[in-house]
Amino acid sequence: MQITKDSVVQFNYTILDEQGQKLESNQGETPVAYLHGHNNMMPGVEKALEGKQAGDSFTVTLPPEETYGVRNESEEAIQRIPVKHLQGAKVWKPGMVAVVNTDKGQRQVTIIKKGQFMVTVDTNPPLAGKTLTFELSVKEVREATAEEISHGHAHGVGGHHH
């Protein structure tokens, strides 16, 4: 079946920058699952997957507006937080990406400057502002269950577990 509204889609991806350098990939791992047509996926990726089916592999290049968004260059994007709030490594250096818990869930931040107790971070998503190429492989397409549609997300492999 073709991907359309209320399809549950499983796919693998590789993200490349404009120089063709690999930034992120889940090839060979558990695919990502999402409910199509419910704003659960980056809009450009969702649009590219529309009408595709299991077994399809293709490449699409997308502007930042359709993926991680444009960068927020205002001062509020730069914040000072305690070093102990950073998760993901023991030793931090400028340029490294850390995970922090916020009241809106986990966020990735990029270290700008590190002091002994406080660290200055850029709260823009690390891939914001970049034109990105996605290599996408559709693994499975099925109709969503009534429960998934009422929850607004996919269940099962790669999806939500309650």
By the criterion CB under 5 A, which residues form the site for Zn ion? 151, 160
Given the complex with Zn ion, which of 38 and 160 has the nearer CB atom?
Answer: 160
Closest to 11 in 3D by CA, of 134, 161, 132:
134
Q: Which residues, at least 6 apart from 90, have a Cβ–Cβ distance to it below 8 Å?
A: none
With 0-12 CB in 10 A as exposed, 13-18 as middle and 19+ as buried, what is 80?
Answer: exposed
Given the complex with Zn ion, which of 107 and 151 has the nearer CB atom?
Answer: 151
Given the complex with Zn ion, which of 91 and 146 has the nearer CB atom?
Answer: 146
For CA atoms 115, 116, 120, 123, give the dihedral sign. positive
**In 36-145, alpha helices (H):** 43-49
Q: At its nearest, how many Å lie between Zn ion and the CB of residue 45? A: 21
**In the chain, alpha helices (H):** 43-49, 146-151
Given the complex with Zn ion, which of 71 and 153 has the nearer CB atom?
Answer: 153
Do 143 and 6 meet the contact criterion of CB atoms below 8 Å apart? yes
